[in-house]
Structure 1
Amino acid sequence: MPLFLLAVGCSSGSSDGGDSSDAETVEGDTGSGGNTGTDSDDNTGTDTDTDTETGQSSAPQELIANAFSGTSIGLSWQRDGVTYRIYRGGEKIAETSSAFYVDQGLSVNTEYSYAVTSGDLDNDEQTARASAKTLINNSNSGLNNGAVTVPVLERLVNLDECKNVRSALDLLDEDLDTCLEAMLELNNMAGHLQDMRAFAARVRSEQDPAMIELGMRLFYSKSLSANDDVACASCHHAAVGCSGDNLSMPVGVNPVDSALIGPGRSDGINEVPIVPRNAQPICNVGLWSQGLFWDNRVALTDRGVRTDSRDVSLNTEAAVGTGTLALMMAQAHFPITNPAEMGDVTQFGYDASSDSGNTNYREDIVAANLGRESWSALFSAAFGDDQITFSRIAQAIAAFEAVQLFIDNPFFDYVDGDSSALDSDEKRGAITFMSGNSGCTNCHAGAFFTSEGPRPANYPQIGIGTDENGSGADLGANGAGAFRPPTLLNVAITGPWGHSGQFATLRRNVEHYRDRAASINQYYANSEMCDLAQFEHLANCATKVAPNGLALSQAILAANGGDAGNNLSDTEIDLVVRFLGTLTDPDAANSASNSIRTLIPPRDGGPDGRQLDAKDGAGNAL
């Protein structure tokens, strides 16, 4: 099973912590989790170690490498009990039977290549290879996630470096780099990117491998649901859309086929899902610093964790304070008690309207459903004893979610100085996106590409909505259709788009901002909700999916005072979409990448035989 990485010698896991000058290994047993310790480098091992079961030399599976700071890099691979030798740049630096290793005392802003083998270093079948680059410095505290709340809004016509043109379409190819580099400097993109990378490195380094392993098993366990038929991964599978489900609105409880993820998933009764909002991707959730859910109803404020439940807020702060895991741990409490998502507490006799009813259900039913005989080893490895509480469940899930970070992409390669990372259309798209003409950065600025706080988006209203009166309305966070702008990192692979998955294509989503009033009219005139894969075969689709949609959407638009739009041309919209595609991490887009496979447990049924071993609509294992 894949394990993740435990920082050694770092001060509180921060990227500015002091690193030992000697490389160290982190050692654990070969069972679930395990105690950790350190081994010094051992160069006395032979070069022909073999697999203890087959007698054959083998390469470690799912090897990944990531920066932990400006002077350390972490490696991890699939746990299998074999002793491996670790090489940096062809030189042996360590030997370990653990499944992770932290290389320290490195130079800042330097890329290192690693090879891990139990056999012949020169044999590609027996050796796994990976590389990673240390942070640009070792002084960034990693407390800024790269998001920007007050963007720079400058029009191209005011920039001499951009020839004072009105549109990126007017730029010659030879002027693109000069213009784009000026806009990047104006927006301090390099600085925000450094901050986000340091933030991600800190988050990675803080997580205990045993805690992450427990969290992964819990995340894929149907034992957390009321009827043992839904897992967190049912709507957030690592192999699907950056840990999403590719549905407009998820299908939670009572699925016809609990193993089926994504298009085709149904409860066999409700033609329109009873979960009203799109399941947001889990990847990069560890980067959010202000709030979670589409309406930020789980938030961090100057007074601490804020949620709809005093019990949850206090429980979270008691366990992890207001640090890295606080938002994710608090959020993990709520799907468990949502009757449409994972369970109806009332079927067990608990009062769903009271804080204590939900709290007691989580402890008495959910936590108790994890038999100690099956789960004790994992909990003991993570917490030091085998006590199973929901607080511990939520904390472990948060640790697993925290390491799902995918922030490498061609655009950031360009920011780093590789002018060939983008083609001319992608550069024009980036210029258009960052120009004040488009207004995109009003909500999506900085390297994290979000302002984090809810903004009115005036999206078409579809689905059952959140209005308790059953009108179908979803008024968002501030009562006028305001939702948290999602990060645009990996946005091209996280559709359908919108808080209820309203748009079938990313281009149509971008087009919506040209003139939102016209977009809403077009949406209902063309019954675009019926273009969505989830509803395209539904008879009387428009009537069922959005019976009051146009009136509800127009009311929200009126409440926001109309919409000026950005007046981008069709060609400019195409260019912005091309640019957004450059924000995709290649590993996130490749379900067979090591970075994705490390987030999926082996198909062994899990600790208690109730693991979600998922498949897609074609029956292919995920």
Structure 2
Amino acid sequence: MILLAASPALADGLPRPLVADDFIQPDPAQAKLGQLLFYDRILSGNRNIACSTCHHPDLGTGDGLSLGIGEGGQGLGPQRMAGTGDDRIRKRIPRNAPGLWNLGAKDLHVMFHDGRLSAADTYENGFNSPAEEWLPEGLDNLLAAQAIFPLVAQFEMAGNPKENEVAGAVHNRMDYAWPILTDRVRHIPAYAEGFAGAFDHITRAEDITIADIANALSAFMIWEWTSFDSPFDAYLAGDATAMTPMQKAGMALFYGNGGCSTCHAGPLLSDQGFHAIGLPPFGPGRTRRFDPMVRDVGHMGESDALEDAYAFRTPMLRNVALTGPYGHNGAYPTLEGIVRHHLDPLRGFEMWTPDMAALPDVPWLAQADFMVWQDSREIARQKAAVSLQRNLMSNAGIDALVSFLDALTGESAKAGRLGVPNSVPSGLPVDHGLSE
């Protein structure tokens, strides 16, 4: 209590330190089971991609790409290719694969770049989600609910209609596919035994549900990637020597004239709100149903409110130095680039060039990658929606801000706790890492 009373957090008006009680405490046995599922391609329609393919620890729990290469691709990270023949990808993933840090925070109430999943009682099941009233019962938390949606996304993990039974079921209604994936897991003896050992209500394979699979995945991600041991966290807890002088100068700008903490607020460094910051658009976009335009309307796609056009959720910033490229579409390859954009978004919009995007070569999609720039009215709408004010800052100030963002990297972030399994119960290949 005395330490907290004298801590820099209280003295300088900074957020309070994060503590273990701010996070869901996962069951170790469920986390171990979730680790295997996270790296197992059995949960994809064509058994060719796992959660880890786009969220790998070697890549800061992302994929190192601006827009991912999902189902049908080959390889890992920046070297991932778009596939060949009938298996080649038909579309880039519309948005950047976000990092998975601290998604077990108890105060977290909204997920996805556009906020299409949130804690709410809209459908009397505890969540407002794309599955509406068909969301499975028994999900432990928001992260568990999030975990099942990539499994039934056509271009992420499900595959294309007529390719497999999962994709075919999704084409009718997404909740028809989850029992098919569950049945696959049930029929693998090691998983049946693992679920019986990790969940009290499961005594036989037939008891396993998609909610149990989701809860195991959630337990693993929370166990593996809860992070609050960065130099900044040590400073907040009272260690005035934890950060360098430059990092402290950047922190002063972050919480002062830089205005960063207006949105990156609170202990999680996010207000969990939505803001239009004018990131240069590219890729297939993600818009409202029946919208014929190639664009990404952001939170408006969820809220249908014009004031939410082109606004995206404020990301949390722990371990941000590990999670590039940056922005909802990965428009900027470096922290300096995204910081400069925040400080002068309209100039950033004008000065941005397509070569800054980390997009693996996909010749059959190249024509659509930057099609939105041909629509002058759409570009004007996106620029007009920007809510950030220009904030002139010296190069030295920008360097200090970047140094502070580096101070948000946890000491144990790169090591993890369980790591990558050598093998998985399905016997399918595992994304071991970039050096494999």
Range into which the TM-score falls when normalised by the shorter chain: 0.7 to 0.9
Which residue of the partner structure matches residue 38 of structure 1?
none
Which residue of the partner structure matches residue 483 of structure 1?
312
Which residue, 3, 7, 11 being the options, matches 1:185?
A: 11
Which residue of the partner structure matches residue 261 of structure 1?
76
Deviations along 1:511-534, whole A, 9 cap, x unmatched? Answer: 0022211110111xxx2x313343
Query: 1:600: Cα distance to partner?
Result: 1.9
Whole-angstrom distance in 2 between the partners of 1:598 and 1:199: 21
Contact 1:515 1:565 (C-alpha < 8 Å) held by counterparts: yes
Contact 2:276 2:385 (C-alpha < 8 Å) held by counterparts: no
Which residue of the partner structure matches residue 378 of structure 1?
194
From the superposition, tell whether residues 272 and 597 of structure 1 become closer, same or farther in structure 2 (CA, over 3 Å).
farther
Matched, 1:433 2:249: no
Deviations along 1:276-334, whole A, 9 cap, x unmatched? Answer: 00111112111262111111111013653111213454x2xx314xxxx4211111221
Which residue of the partner structure matches residue 402 of structure 2?
577
What are the residue-to-residue correspondences of 1:373-452 with 2, within 5 Å? 373-383=189-199, 384-385=202-203, 386=205, 387-403=207-223, 404-435=225-256, 437-452=257-272
- For structure 1, the residue ranges without an aligned partner over 5 or more in a row are 1-107, 111-135, 138-177
Moved more, 491-500 or 272-281: 272-281
Name the amino acid aligned to 1:565.
R
Whole-angstrom distance in 2 between the partners of 1:533 and 1:308: 29
What are the residue-to-residue correspondences of 1:308-327 with 2, within 5 Å? 308-313=130-135, 315=136, 318-320=137-139, 325-327=140-142
Whole-angstrom distance in 1 between the partners of 2:408 and 2:159: 39
Whole-angstrom distance in 1 between the partners of 2:403 and 2:385: 33
From the superposition, tell whether residues 109 and 253 of structure 1 become closer, same or farther in structure 2 (CA, over 3 Å).
farther
Q: Which has the higher contact order (CA 8 A, sep 6+)?
A: 2
Name the amino acid aligned to 1:305.
F
Matched, 1:367 2:182: yes
What are the residue-to-residue correspondences of 1:223-234 with 2, within 5 Å? 223-234=42-53
Give the structure with the larger strand fraction.
Answer: 1
Whole-angstrom distance in 2 between the partners of 1:422 and 1:344: 46
Whole-angstrom distance in 2 between the partners of 1:540 and 1:438: 42
Deviations along 1:139-161, whole A, 9 cap, x unmatched? Answer: xxxxxxxxxxxxxxxxxxxxxxx
From the superposition, tell whether residues 214 and 109 of structure 1 become closer, same or farther in structure 2 (CA, over 3 Å).
farther
Query: 1:188: Cα distance to partner?
Result: 4.5
TM-score (norm. length: structure 2): 0.85
Query: 1:238: Cα distance to partner?
Result: 2.4
Query: 1:199: Cα distance to partner?
Result: 0.9
Whole-angstrom distance in 2 between the partners of 1:352 and 1:279: 22
Contact 2:278 2:385 (C-alpha < 8 Å) held by counterparts: no
Query: 1:569: Cα distance to partner?
Result: 2.2
Identity of aligned residues (%): 29
From the superposition, tell whether residues 308 and 541 of structure 1 become closer, same or farther in structure 2 (CA, over 3 Å).
closer
- For structure 2, the residue ranges without an aligned partner over 5 or more in a row are 301-307
Contact 2:62 2:98 (C-alpha < 8 Å) held by counterparts: yes
Whole-angstrom distance in 2 between the partners of 1:611 and 1:367: 19
Which residue of the partner structure matches residue 101 of structure 1?
none
Contact 1:460 1:549 (C-alpha < 8 Å) held by counterparts: no
Name the amino acid aligned to 2:356.
D
Contact 1:272 1:544 (C-alpha < 8 Å) held by counterparts: no
Contact 1:337 1:345 (C-alpha < 8 Å) held by counterparts: no
Which residue of the partner structure matches residue 146 of structure 2?
331
Contact 1:261 1:614 (C-alpha < 8 Å) held by counterparts: no
Which residue of the partner structure matches residue 502 of structure 1?
331
Secondary structure of 1:299 counterpart = strand
Query: 1:466: Cα distance to partner?
Result: 0.9
Whole-angstrom distance in 2 between the partners of 1:255 and 1:539: 14
Give the structure with the larger helix fraction.
Answer: 2
Name the amino acid aligned to 1:438.
G
Q: Which runs of 4+ in 1 moved over 4 A?
A: 269-273, 537-544
Secondary structure of 1:412 counterpart = helix
Which residue of the partner structure matches residue 557 of structure 1?
383
Name the amino acid aligned to 1:299.
S
Secondary structure of 2:151 counterpart = helix
Name the amino acid aligned to 2:384.
A
From the superposition, tell whether residues 612 and 548 of structure 1 become closer, same or farther in structure 2 (CA, over 3 Å).
same
Which residue of the partner structure matches residue 303 of structure 2?
none
From the superposition, tell whether residues 312 and 490 of structure 1 become closer, same or farther in structure 2 (CA, over 3 Å).
farther
Whole-angstrom distance in 1 between the partners of 2:390 and 2:64: 28
Deviations along 1:154-200, whole A, 9 cap, x unmatched? Answer: xxxxxxxxxxxxxxxxxxxxxxxx9x94x8535352xx215x44213
Name the amino acid aligned to 1:609.
G
TM-score (norm. length: structure 1): 0.61
Query: 1:244: Cα distance to partner?
Result: 1.4
Which residue, 294, 297, 304 being the options, matches 2:113?
A: 294
Whole-angstrom distance in 1 between the partners of 2:364 and 2:209: 46
Which residue of the partner structure matches residue 274 of structure 2?
454
Paired residue total: 409
Name the amino acid aligned to 2:221.
E
Contact 2:42 2:428 (C-alpha < 8 Å) held by counterparts: yes
Secondary structure of 2:254 counterpart = helix
From the superposition, tell whether residues 418 and 186 of structure 1 become closer, same or farther in structure 2 (CA, over 3 Å).
closer
Whole-angstrom distance in 1 between the partners of 2:388 and 2:245: 31
What are the residue-to-residue correspondences of 1:34-433 with 2, within 5 Å? 181=8, 185-189=11-15, 192-194=16-18, 196-200=19-23, 203-204=24-25, 207-241=26-60, 243-256=61-74, 260-268=75-83, 274-287=92-105, 289-301=108-120, 304-313=126-135, 315=136, 318-320=137-139, 325-344=140-159, 346-347=161-162, 348=165, 350=168, 352=170, 354=172, 357-363=173-179, 365-370=180-185, 371-383=187-199, 384-385=202-203, 386=205, 387-403=207-223, 404-433=225-254
Query: 1:542: Cα distance to partner?
Result: 8.5
Contact 2:330 2:358 (C-alpha < 8 Å) held by counterparts: no
